[in-house]
Structure 1
């Protein structure tokens, strides 16, 4: 229950936060951010096994190493550790993943304030097994950019979190109690456990230690993702460690310790019976916890400041001293807000409704969580050889969800943050070199070659960046590793890929071979260019003219049996899609694809039917399935079919129907920025159909004016603006266009025009303008 004084404090805090969200002042785009958008893993709400957005609501900074967020669940396919429908909180962790499926990871250093009896396990939300988890008052839950707050009702404790790039802080407001406590579950990890931990008391206020996470403890892909890392921490309590202790459970070596096992009754009961150790200066073990106890007065505030490193304990301390030393919670919160305002100001919008602005800036916020920094403040990082390296001239980054983010996320960054793209490519190149593998990983997490999903997405990101003049990495190594990647993962001598994902593999490898051809041409490697242009035509080898569509082939060249459902059969030669959805993915040769499919009219009719059959809720379905990436280019194909008004119609429709200002506001997994980047670009009126080409498709902007701030270190221009005249919810069709004051008739624009700066001015109307943007 809230005391009277804390109740009024809470009302004042909420009033301030509402005011800042509703009355935006110039230079405060962070005030529009709603971190609760997408913060659900619910399979029921999504009506599919993939769940919804899977974002976290806690505090972080742009591309920061640290995310201080509430965690409501440990096991299952709950990558962010949080889902809004849960009514209890296990604790507040300092690392989180954002928007991914396939059994998440991180969720390390789980901190919980408690009172009364010490409990060593979180227990169960349904109450069948008691523990330190607490119910919370949903009405008190507040999340903004760089800040989170909630009241834990079981303990009458208010928790606030904020963050810096390599560190974070929690402020607890306790009730009057003789036995208040802050406890840390050092073993806990989303989707499993760390397998070994160490903690040491440094002085009267400070502890430090580490948590070793390996595939044997589950995590990414429940261990199949090969994530292996150590989280180091340096933690300072504002309240002296007068009464502290540890709990330690010795886990039998024969026990599995993955996502299901660590939340089993046997495992939890074993930990619950673990020994309490008092008076020791340091402890190491299989499953450790730490606690410090103290009396508190009513509304007494206690803080915990933590520096994090993936390098060593000295790195964690260095990060702590660089970012937290001598700072109050409120100062750190102001700094976090300032960091977000600086980053979010890379795009400025005018017009639109309050909800549209909230969705836009929250989407932009979500694109700025990953790829996160992996270097300490001194530039050190752990490389692919598990040795310490120093990043020279770049920031080492991690969380490259390649199969997702090559489509929209990295094309967006090429406009607003080319330095980030340079960093990512330098990170991939150094990983390929340091690991000794000599090729690119498609889904990298803390140096792991996880093998998640398909294709060679790094080749798309590389080519797209290179052709746009983003070249701050070792280009010769980058190109050599690109060739190695295609040779290792490609369509091979048969000219196509066989089971189980013949269609998906063949089409995606054909596209990234085309990307290599573009790179080879830029580098003057004519033989390579010719070879990879031929390989890029591999998509033709799995097109069955009798069926009029792409069809999976066996390794002996025969077709796989045609299913009763035809091309809407999910997983028929495809991954997380069906042939109808995946079959449109020939971005590098759209004219060739159209001819193969029977010509413009037939393809236009088919594509129109594809959208017409899409359910209005836009959740997982057999047609335009915006909840997953394979179809994300499809709305822009109408531009290539001399029907640009359909691109305009459908992108506006998708922006309206697939994105909401609510917890359920992202119809599929957010996927490390991809779903949000699609919205940012589409709502701005610009989106690529083929990353690696400099062509950007023009579509109907959602806002009256969108201005991209350009980086002078890369581009000649300062700003590029898309201005939509007469833009209303009814006026969704482009009637005419002007580029830098001159009439412009194309439904696309070359990236060079954006890089030079200027203005694309679009006049909007309620009906299609069939004389604008139509290609011959």
Structure 2
């Protein structure tokens, strides 16, 4: 077994999309269990389902596997995307359709042995029981290798479904046999083929591949399904019996060396002896076949599968080694390092090994002084995921800012996308999260981007999407929009101030107070307004009503989102004592398992900062109590170990920060709240390009599950009486020592 922090990673944590287990249509973690590298372009993972709201293409309880893809998304709903270049080993007659979960025998999907399914950081293996084939995969940053162990058979095969895509289909493919061992081609994925948001997410990308086999291509061919021109090809279309039937009777074309079409697959057949291993390796690019070839040739030069696996493990040990913990249980270490692992899937590298990436104008560009990154789940990740990276991977944050700014440039949109997916302006969720990420980066000294351009596009964003002249947003999302836009305006005000733009600083900081405009003193809570300023009718269940002026929350849950002005929010709500009582009830009523609920709903993002508000309200011991409770009750070493969607690193980043003893309330400010660490020591390695110190350590005395309350603290040997820490203190390096005890010390940290 791998040594080092990678040995603690369990990629099965969260690998379920089950609505039944979650009790809500959002499902559970929606992570994928396959092989990846830190922020890598390629993820080699089993896929158990193409349709439905199964963003990762996999759910642990499914009993069959339809293939192993080279690209996956982590922790998302909205039907999902990627899952391209689906490879499947088989024996016997060729089948051109995957078949259904109910009738796997009708296609190439296979049952598999659950006890033989194993995964680790960078590696995955499973025994396919229908044809008795072992499948193994190991990832490199832009490429990957699969190893298949076949039984003795006259007709063994590796087949590749080039049309396959999670939540839809690729709409055009091309494949070409290059030589006796090599194929190359591409798959075009447009919104017409569903995918991200079933096409509404505007996912529009081309995956290029360059693939080689260890056994020569002596008997090979292509299959091509005739998809009539009049047929639509969204998610519900490709799930239909009509469509599946059309694919199952695809024309099989033996010996064809080159083919383009709407629904293609490629196969190579050979005779195998018992336990014979046949390997396939491929490079992926979003730019060109030449890019895919260069990616493969640089990363995987031979057929040494174990070397690829070892290299992936080494990459993970190095990446995960940025945080070293001692103490805690073995389960807590597994939960912690798997969470840290999940924060390093995205934002993934979008550039080839030569720096080329597909631009927002559809042309190739070359990244200079940064790595082009993609998959920015803005509404989720501005809260914990990007703040975590400002400490341990500041270069990734710098890359992400550059990537968003260059995209705004290349598209000619000149505003920042809130949920970027492979250059698509998907418009998913709400707010202007990129403005928060840029303000937070600048405040923390992460500044390797064109700041004037970034500032202009940030300003354009808040002007395009905001509370406007009325100072509030009306309509069905009135509360959520008003509160979130007010925070993002405040972020722009902070950035303006830092850049010496005095007038803008005044304007946008003042707009940060617009949250007051949807507070109804008569109801003593936030309430949605109509365009004419009138209040929307107050429902019987009042602020508890899910979706009442809110998105994926209730006014009770969303109403705590005034991170930029907690004192102002507290005064509006009736003062500290009233707010503390309300907030205490908000937590006390949470179900034991912390699954989706009407109070502190850790399963979704709007409340993720709320446990740290107790620090701001003069009751830091309640922050300490509740972050320990959430860490223990909402995160487990199990498939259903996440109470909600992973959301591209956000759910896991919350745990990494809270379990380390730090978390921001308000990104854009350099303040972190101090809380009770799960571990005895947490050492954060710092990047010398962005920090003066080498590491910052949070160390405890007398720490245990019972001793969860901070009694006293010392920063670099001097008594420390604050329940918060500045980013500059972390970046300088040093040690924060926390003395823990069984009872709250109500005098510590209340300034």
TM-score grouping bracket, smaller chain normalisation: over 0.9
Secondary structure, aligned partner of 2:740: strand
Post-superposition CA distance 1:343-365 (Å, at most 9, x none): 00000000000000000000000
Post-superposition CA distance 1:265-321 (Å, at most 9, x none): 100111111111122210000000110000000000000000000001111111111
Post-superposition CA distance 1:477-507 (Å, at most 9, x none): 0000010000000000000001120000000
- Select which of 159, 172, 175 maps to 1:199: 175
Secondary structure, aligned partner of 2:185: strand
- Select which of 104, 108, 121 maps to 1:132: 108
In 2, the alpha carbon distance for the partners of 1:83 and 1:533 equals 45
| 1:545-624 paired onto structure 2 within 5 Å | 545-624=521-600
Structure 1 residue aligned with 2:213: 237
Report how far residue 263 of structure 1 moved: 2.0
In 1, the alpha carbon distance for the partners of 2:729 and 2:491 equals 22
- Select which of 20, 25, 34 maps to 1:58: 34
Structure 2 residue aligned with 1:637: 613
Structure 2 residue aligned with 1:153: 129
- Larger displacement relative to structure 2 (118-127 or 360-369): 118-127
Report how far residue 128 of structure 1 moved: 7.2
- Select which of 496, 499, 512 maps to 1:523: 499
Report how far residue 565 of structure 1 moved: 1.2
Count, aligned residues: 751
Post-superposition CA distance 1:38-63 (Å, at most 9, x none): 00000000000100000000001000
- Select which of 421, 434, 439 maps to 1:463: 439
In 1, the alpha carbon distance for the partners of 2:102 and 2:641 equals 27
| 1:181-330 paired onto structure 2 within 5 Å | 181-330=157-306
Post-superposition CA distance 1:363-409 (Å, at most 9, x none): 00000000000000000011111111000010000000000000000
| 1:19-98 paired onto structure 2 within 5 Å | 20=2, 25=3, 28-98=4-74
In 1, the alpha carbon distance for the partners of 2:635 and 2:573 equals 32
Do structure 1's residue 733 and structure 2's residue 709 form an aligned pair? yes
- Larger displacement relative to structure 2 (273-282 or 72-81): 273-282
Is contact 2:98–2:104 with CA below 8 Å preserved after alignment? no
Do structure 1's residue 340 and structure 2's residue 316 form an aligned pair? yes
Secondary structure, aligned partner of 1:517: helix
Structure 2 residue aligned with 1:424: 400
Is contact 2:359–2:423 with CA below 8 Å preserved after alignment? yes
Post-superposition CA distance 1:454-484 (Å, at most 9, x none): 0000000000000000001100000000100
Secondary structure, aligned partner of 1:769: coil
Structure 1 residue aligned with 2:488: 512
Secondary structure, aligned partner of 1:617: coil
Structure 2 residue aligned with 1:165: 141
Alpha carbons of 1:219 and 1:460: their partners in 2 closer, same or farther (altered >3 Å)? same
In 1, the alpha carbon distance for the partners of 2:509 and 2:89 equals 60
Post-superposition CA distance 1:315-339 (Å, at most 9, x none): 1111111111224111000000000
Structure 1 residue aligned with 2:92: 116
In 1, the alpha carbon distance for the partners of 2:139 and 2:250 equals 33
Secondary structure, aligned partner of 2:458: helix
In 2, the alpha carbon distance for the partners of 1:705 and 1:74 equals 43
Report how far residue 258 of structure 1 moved: 1.5
Structure 1 residue aligned with 2:653: 677
Secondary structure, aligned partner of 1:239: coil
Report how far residue 186 of structure 1 moved: 0.4
Structure 1 residue aligned with 2:422: 446
In 1, the alpha carbon distance for the partners of 2:241 and 2:498 equals 60
Unaligned runs of 5+ residues in structure 1 are 1-16
In 1, the alpha carbon distance for the partners of 2:424 and 2:157 equals 37
In 2, the alpha carbon distance for the partners of 1:688 and 1:45 equals 31
- Give the root-mean-square deviation of aligned CA atoms: 0.7
Secondary structure, aligned partner of 1:652: helix
In 1, the alpha carbon distance for the partners of 2:32 and 2:255 equals 37
Structure 1 residue aligned with 2:675: 699
Post-superposition CA distance 1:45-85 (Å, at most 9, x none): 00001000000000010000000000000001001000000
| 1:406-421 paired onto structure 2 within 5 Å | 406-421=382-397
In 2, the alpha carbon distance for the partners of 1:65 and 1:252 equals 33
Structure 1 residue aligned with 2:684: 708
Per the normalisation by structure 2, the TM-score is: 1.00
Structure 2 residue aligned with 1:436: 412
Do structure 1's residue 625 and structure 2's residue 601 form an aligned pair? yes
Post-superposition CA distance 1:187-243 (Å, at most 9, x none): 000000000000000000100000000000000000000010000000000011000
Is contact 2:104–2:111 with CA below 8 Å preserved after alignment? no
In 1, the alpha carbon distance for the partners of 2:229 and 2:656 equals 49
Secondary structure, aligned partner of 1:260: helix
- Select which of 358, 367, 376 maps to 1:391: 367
Unaligned runs of 5+ residues in structure 2 are none
Is contact 2:223–2:250 with CA below 8 Å preserved after alignment? yes
Secondary structure, aligned partner of 2:513: helix
Do structure 1's residue 351 and structure 2's residue 327 form an aligned pair? yes
Secondary structure, aligned partner of 1:625: coil
Post-superposition CA distance 1:432-468 (Å, at most 9, x none): 0000000000000000000000000000000000000
In 1, the alpha carbon distance for the partners of 2:596 and 2:143 equals 37
Secondary structure, aligned partner of 1:139: helix
Post-superposition CA distance 1:76-103 (Å, at most 9, x none): 1001000000010000000000000111
Structure 2 residue aligned with 1:750: 726
Is contact 2:214–2:303 with CA below 8 Å preserved after alignment? no
In 1, the alpha carbon distance for the partners of 2:250 and 2:375 equals 35
- Select which of 401, 405, 410 maps to 2:377: 401
In 2, the alpha carbon distance for the partners of 1:548 and 1:762 equals 38
In 2, the alpha carbon distance for the partners of 1:535 and 1:69 equals 46
